[in-house]
């Protein structure tokens, strides 16, 4: 069984429907213990143009061992050509929460 190393993966989607579809896939496949959705405004340059869009930030609480499967799920399910997918390690956390998250992931 893989060692449990908690991480947070962050991505964005153009709308809540797509965000929740991606989050649902991750939860159904036990790749995430929890998924959160936030409405944000993103400003960036794409194809030489300045863009200013409303997006949904998806915060995925998971384990490092699931990163590759999460990345694959996001890329296959996403409408963006180049979605943001960032993984941040969790060095500390509330032990009962981390225990719950580990159980949700089947680790």
pLDDT of residue 3: 81
State the pLDDT at residue 24: 98
Evaluate whether 86 touches 70 at the Cβ level (below 8 Å).
no
Structural domain contains residue 90: yes
Task: Give the position of tokens 């963006």.
Answer: 80
Give a yes or no: residue 107 inside a domain: no
CB 70 within 8 A of CB 26: yes
Asked, for residue 23, whether it belongs to a domain, the answer is: yes
Query: The domain containing residue 34 runs over which residues?
Result: 6-101
- Per the structure, how many domains does the chain have? 1
- What does the pLDDT average to over 79-86? 96
> For residue range 83-95, what is the model confidence (pLDDT) as tens digits?
999 999 999 999 9
Q: Give the pLDDT band of residue 1 (cuts 50, 70, 90).
A: low
CATH of residue 50: 3.30.70.120
24 is a domain residue: yes
Other CB atoms within a 10 A radius of the CB of residue 80 amount to 15
CA angle, 37 as apex, 35 and 39 as ends, to 5°? 165
pLDDT digits (tens, 9 = 90+) for 4-55: 999 999 999 999 999 999 999 999 999 999 999 999 999 999 999 999 999 9
Please check whether residue 88 is in contact with residue 67, taking contact to mean a CB–CB distance below 8 angstroms.
no
């Amino acid at each position: 069984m893989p060692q449990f190393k908690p991480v947070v993966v962050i991505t964005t989607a153009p709308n809540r429907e797509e965000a929740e579809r991606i989050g649902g896939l991750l939860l159904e496949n036990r790749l995430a213990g929890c998924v959160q959705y936030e409405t944000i405004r993103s400003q960036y340059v794409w194809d030489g143009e300045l863009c200013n869009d409303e997006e949904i930030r998806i915060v995925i609480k998971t384990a490092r061992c699931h990163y590759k499967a999460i990345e694959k799920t996001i890329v296959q399910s996403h409408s963006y050509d180049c979605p943001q997918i960032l993984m941040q390690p969790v060095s500390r956390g509330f032990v009962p929460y981390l225990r719950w998250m580990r159980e949700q992931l089947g680790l």
